Structure 1
Amino acid sequence: MYRLVLLIPTLLLIFSLSSCNLFSAAGLSSQGQPTKEVKGELTSTTANSAVNVDHSQWDKLLKKHVGPQGMVDYKGFQKDREALNAYLQNLSSKNPTDDWSVQELLAYYINLYNAYTVDLILDNYPVKSIKDIDGAWTKGIVPVGDRELSLGGIENGILRKMDEPRIHFAINCASISCPKLLDEAYTAAKINEQLDRAAREFINSDKNDIRANDPKVSSIFDWYKKDYTVNGKQDVIAYINQYSDTKINPSATLQYKNYNWDLNDQ
């Protein structure tokens, strides 16, 4: 009994440490990364930042291997693996801080998420779905400085905390129902216009069936409903109506479409 009493605190400590690691991987922690919030209306600028990251390598790869509908030529990416690795290494060598502008941070983490998602698929290619990859969102597969971030951590622990819901239309989970992978790199110089484009294209795409009184929308609007606010209040319909060509009746009931997790492979 005495030994058991002594063992309990040790077990609790181990469980605590394991839980912290799990929570961090699942996206409940920023893992020491800066999470500046967007204040007011986001503007596109390279000013007021200690660092301006060069994303031109990623831009060239996207223009070459991403089609107009966001479908990805993974076989083509495989042939350009050396160029992709060079870009990933460049990103991972950075050490984001609060001296970076909110525009630079948004562009950096969106590109980081998308580029390492492509890399993850290539590591497991051919694969039918990203969901077939063990720990796709929870394992620390993204080196940044001396840390190993998870894709879920980048999304939930960093990007979502920046209070810019359009990030949900910018990050791509390598699946058919995901917002499409933009065929250009996000940059601080164009970040607001790019996020607007991503939101408008996704909302008006066939991934939503928007009608005034019987709307069926992506499950993204269900999973992250608390992120979609208008005038400080959660209002998914009002948020969609800011970008939708067809306006939804405010009293309508949203239905959510089944999510297709098949790979977005050309």
Structure 2
Amino acid sequence: MLQGNRMEQKSWVWRRARLTLLAGFIVATISGFVTSEAPAQSGPPARLDLDQWDVAWTDVLKRYVDARGRVDFSGLAKDRAGLDEVVKYIAAVDPLSSPGRFATPNARMAYYLNAYNALAMYGVLDAGVPKRFGWIDRTRFFVLRKFTIGGRAVSLYRLENSVIRPLGDPRVHFALNCMSVSCPRLPQSAFTARGLDQELDAAAREFVAEKRNVDVDDSRREIRISEIFKFYTKDFLAKAPTLQSYINQYRLSPVPADYKIVFNDYDWSINDQVRN
């Protein structure tokens, strides 16, 4: 009996040691992925005012984003001065650091949507335009990587989940773009404070009209929908009793309420014009 207890104790100690080593390896691996802030995010205060910044971001979008929302990262890498200026403004200014520049809730929301998309584009370019985001890559890019926003270090994960989602409008999920293939189409112009409600409605209608995002299969009595609706179910159900009813607010042809919902797998490939 004593010998058995000793063997069991040794086995437990060995398992604990292995778990400790494994945990240390994971932490060390992930820590190695932390990316320092890029030089373009530091330096003197931004020279642009808010209207000029909107114009500058729109210029980047018009030049390097096509009608399908794909980004010309190759062209952008050769002429990134405009994007660097946009990111420099984000580093210096936001609704918390400069509240006087953002007079309305729509002004704040439009800014955060534009900032998220610009920083995601900048981050992909800065990372050398990977082919796709694997699981560890996503942790690195969205959680561990910090960007400067209004003088504070903030991850894209925190920007989305602690700043943008609490604004309480699920339509933001049709506007935020992480530069992946399954994201909503990246627009070719900035979101604006004056037209934001119409712009978000248009983004929602466009998203649910695309077969890749909402596809009705009558033979199977199924609705195959984007995994975005799975990721943020809570947000959508805060505005409608079911996902079908939320989707139908923006569909010309309503989806059947009694069909089974199936979520499409999310494609984390980078939405690069060269590859897609």
Answer yes or no: same fold by TM over 0.5.
yes
Q: Distance in 1 between matches of 2:264 and 2:224?
A: 6
**Greater mean alpha carbon deviation, residues 255-264 or residues 74-83:** 74-83
1:216 maps to: 224
Distance 2:143 2:266 in 1: 20
**How do 1:188-203 and structure 2 match up within 5 A?**
188-203=193-208
Which residue of 2 is the match for residue 46 of structure 1?
A: none
1:235 to 227, 238, 242: 242
Moved over 4 A (4+): none
Secondary structure of 1:57's aligned partner: helix
Which structure 2 residues correspond to residues 1-266 of structure 1 after superposition, within 5 A?
A: 53=51, 54-97=53-96, 100=102, 101-131=104-134, 132=137, 135-211=140-216, 213-229=221-237, 232-266=239-273
State the distance in 2 between where 1:145 and 1:244 align.
Answer: 38
Q: TM-score, normalised by structure 1?
A: 0.75
- Please list the CA deviations of residues 50-106 of structure 1 after superposition, one character each: whole Å capped at 9, or x if unmatched: x95531100011011111111111112112211111111112211413663111111
Query: C-alpha offsets along residues 135-173 of structure 1, whole Å, 9 cap, x if unaligned?
Result: 111125221233111101111111110001000010111
Q: Structure 1 stretches of 5 or more lacking a match? A: 1-50
Q: CA deviation at 1:251?
A: 2.0
More helix by share: 2
Q: Name the stretch that deviates more: 215-224 or 139-148.
A: 139-148
RMSD: 1.9
> Alignment identity in percent?
33
Give the 3 Å change call, closer, same or farther, for CA 251–137 of structure 1 in structure 2.
Answer: same
One-letter amino acid of the counterpart of residue 116, structure 1? L
Deviation at residue 133 of structure 1 after TM alignment: 5.9
- Contact kept in structure 1, 2:233 and 2:243, CA below 8 Å: yes
Q: How far apart, CA to CA, are the structure 1 residues paired with 2:133 and 2:165?
A: 21
SS of corresponding position for 1:121: helix
After TM superposition, give the deviation of residue 183 of structure 1 in Å: 0.9
Residues 134/161 of structure 1: CA separation in 2 closer, same or farther (3 Å cut): closer
| Structure index of larger Rg | 2
Distance 1:133 1:210, change over 3 A: closer
**How far apart are the structure 2 equivalents of 1:173 and 1:80?**
21
Unaligned runs of 5+ in 2: 1-48
Determine if contact 1:121/1:130 at 8 Å carries over to the other structure: no
> If the length of structure 2 is used for normalisation, what is the TM-score?
0.73
Q: Which moved more, 1:244-253 or 1:194-203?
A: 244-253
Contact 2:177/2:184 (8 A) holds in 1: yes
Q: Which amino acid aligns with 1:109?
A: Y
Match of 1:39 in 2: none
Q: Is the 8 A contact 1:210 1:246 kept in 2?
A: no
Number of equivalent positions: 215
- Letter of the 2:242 partner, please give it: D
